[in-house]
Structure 1
């Protein structure tokens, strides 16, 4: 193997290149990124950057000298537009090509959009440019409507309220973040937002983005009410960036479909937000949009690429965190599709601990307002596939 091409220069792509070099792979690595910047961190965009605590130069994942030391063929500002698997070449928008012996797809996701979100004052949040554009608008005299009560929407709501912005948070479901963490945790987090002055509206959706002379004036809801707005953030989820793989013969189902080794084909692997792989620990395919998973998956893919006769399944206990106001949320495991969410500790707008069951086993845990070690004690139980009754009895309640 003389040439490995990694398409996607965010956290997962860079971590793959680093893991390959740490494993003493000395041949060519091409790292392709569609943004003109060196790989940078995205979680701070909704918090430190929006709040003004960080300048964009602090987002860099590694110092320039560290990236130079990797000896990469680094192609930034280059968008992949096609894949020829017969000739083993990635086609780029500038007309160039990147030949490979092995390919790692780490192209991430992009925000879903609403009809009419091309109006001035309507935002999404994925890139540093998105964050800086929204940051300039967040002032105490302005009104922000956030469409979508997932983690991005909730984190931006917390940041905007800290800046004195009037915030309305819209959620189509019964509670914000309910899809990701369940109703009880969603209700707990809703109470926190209400206590900080957010106007939370559930079971509602956007009927129309209203504008005058190309500028936003308000949001008309499905129930007929009209919300005047200076800015709107559309945070209704994401779409995997797989269009450039159309016609390649790869299986594209809500991402690049991979097996338990993260392989989509014998010479093609997936890493990060774009990869939908079979996690044998939970017996289900999953696609995880969290930084920790991208880094862990990158290391697994590098190992499986370089030692194909010793491949190991990628079977992590997923981990994610979120900061909202002064509350830190930690979760381990697979929280979606649960059969039961048992509240083990609940203190209004202060602390919460929830355990999740699928079938007869513990599959996840979420804590808010508790120290990280209180959640880590549960991780090994999830990893071991611990029986539900045993886990609930044995695990600590901080």
Structure 2
């Protein structure tokens, strides 16, 4: 009987298993996770769960009994090691596991502040897994002063939660602006204003020197010499793909596990999907960090493991909840030469990214209608010009009917 092993019990790993069963795979199926929990949603960790508005049980993608009911051997709490592509084995603790096909869906790790710079002090947290947030919950609710290191989505979401819990919050961003790697100047400006209106202080072009305290953090020192008081420090300085197990097995890795358009790695019968996978997109290798990518790529890779030759060609989408505002993104805002703003620069507003007359992406901030229209235009490939979008008299919904 054929045995498929999936390494990584996150969104992508769970989706691979679910799709394999949905598509009729009736062989042995093993899902391996390093954490002690069954697969769960990560986005709520820095939103509703951190606020205490979402029960733990609602995080889990499926009840634990679902895996047994679907013949999935769920192995939790022990990381897989030592993949041998030739012998088709891996190690799970002291056990050697044989496989016929293997999928790697190991996800991401959070970047941290080094111990030399105070990153090991009590009161310093990342927001990557369930254990991180469980450790943070009580200190964050009691904190008077919170410093967030990093002005990306995770940092800004955490800042919004800390502010709603009543803390004084300062975001320290080393780059020239918040959201520097992931959003336009215009979108960053709207989000900066949103946080300012909610009482968050944002320091851009401000670099952390070190965190200080006697056992527990009490302040963040910036390279400028400024000292910021801190009862809690939340570190959101980016994520790195977990490629070690793939690299040690000799698979091609380059800031992600390199795969072809169908999700195959450089070794026969080994596949990769989700946040850790680097795949062809628009003529270059791309890695996406999103629920959409984990789900869609997990489904595509599972189908391809069963013999379908289906190139993965996604329409990326993403969302971020901050305060009572939802930022929604469709497409990738790369290679654009013009940004059209609909709205007056305050919520609700939408940003439309064009390369010539080709729509590349849409950011909507508190404007779900614009997001819906933009996403459908991108999905259909319908032509729309920057001038049409820029015209305030244009009925966006009418663009879908042409």
TM-score range, shorter chain: over 0.9
Could you say what secondary structure the match of 1:263 adopts? Answer: coil
Which residue does the alignment assign to 1:176? 178
How do residues 1-398 of structure 1 correspond to structure 2 at under 5 angstroms?
2-92=2-92, 94-115=93-114, 116-139=118-141, 141-212=143-214, 214-265=215-266, 266-279=268-281, 282-307=282-307, 310-348=308-346, 350-358=347-355, 361-371=358-368, 373-385=369-381, 389=385, 392=388, 396-397=395-396
Task: List gaps (5 residues or longer) in structure 1.
Answer: none
Matches of 2:58 and 2:32 in 1, distance apart?
22
For each residue in 1:206-239, what CA deviation from the matched residue of structure 2 results, as whole angstroms up to 9, or x when unmatched? 0111122x22121111211111111111100011
**TM-fit CA distance, 1:84:** 0.6
Q: 1:91 and 1:5 mapped to 2: Cα distance?
A: 12
- Where 1:137 maps in the other structure, the secondary structure is helix
Shift of 1:271: 1.2
CA spacing shift, 1:285–1:385, aligned 2, 3 Å? farther
Contact 2:143–2:231 at 8 Å: present in 1 too? no
Q: State the distance in 2 between where 1:120 and 1:228 align.
A: 15
Q: Distance in 2 between matches of 1:113 and 1:101?
A: 36
Contact kept in structure 2, 1:374 and 1:396, CA below 8 Å: no
How far apart are residue 59 of structure 1 and its match?
1.2
Cα contact 1:263–1:269 (8 A) shared by 2 = yes
Q: CA deviation at 1:346?
A: 3.2
Deviation at 1:248, TM superposition (A): 2.0
CA drift at 1:378: 1.7
Cα drift, residue 186 of structure 1 = 0.4
Instruction: Mark the runs of 5 or more structure 2 residues left unpaired by the alignment.
Output: 398-402
Report if aligned partners of 1:155, 1:323 keep a CA contact under 8 Å in 2: yes
Q: Is the 8 A contact 2:243 2:276 kept in 1?
A: yes
> Are the aligned partners of 1:377 and 1:396 in contact in 2 as well (CA < 8 Å)?
no
Q: CA-atom RMSD, angstroms?
A: 2.0
Given the superposition, is the C-alpha separation of residues 387 and 326 from structure 1 closer, same or farther in structure 2, using an over 3 Å criterion?
Answer: same
CA displacement at 1:359 relative to structure 2: 5.9
Secondary structure of 2:298 counterpart: helix
1:67 deviates by 2.1
Query: Is the CA contact 1:363–1:385 (under 8 Å) kept in the aligned structure 2?
Result: no
CA pair 262-141 structure 1, distance change in 2 beyond 3 A: closer
Distance 2:387 2:380 in 1: 10
Alignment CA distance shift 1:328-1:62 (3 Å): same
Report if aligned partners of 2:176, 2:205 keep a CA contact under 8 Å in 1: yes
- State whether residues 185 and 352 of structure 1, in contact with CA within 8 Å, keep that contact through their aligned partners in structure 2: no
Q: Would you identify which runs of 4 or more consecutive aligned residues in structure 1 move more than 4 Å?
A: 384-388, 390-398
Q: In 2, Cα distance between the equivalents of 1:156 and 1:194?
A: 15
TM-score by length of 1: 0.93
In 2: Cα distance, 1:275 partner to 1:388 partner = 32
Give the direction of change, closer, same or farther, for the CA distance of 1:127–1:17 in structure 2 (3 Å limit).
same
Q: Per-residue deviation at 1:141? A: 5.0
Deviation string 1:292-333 (CA, Å, 9 cap, x unpaired) is: 2111111101111102xx411110100101111111111110
Q: How many residues align?
A: 390
Q: Cα offset for 1:341? A: 2.5
Structure 2 SS opposite 1:179: coil
The Cα shift of 1:172 comes to 1.5
Q: TM-score scaled to structure 2, two decimals?
A: 0.92
CA 1:86–1:48: 2 relative to 1, 3 Å: same
SS state of the match for residue 215, structure 1? coil
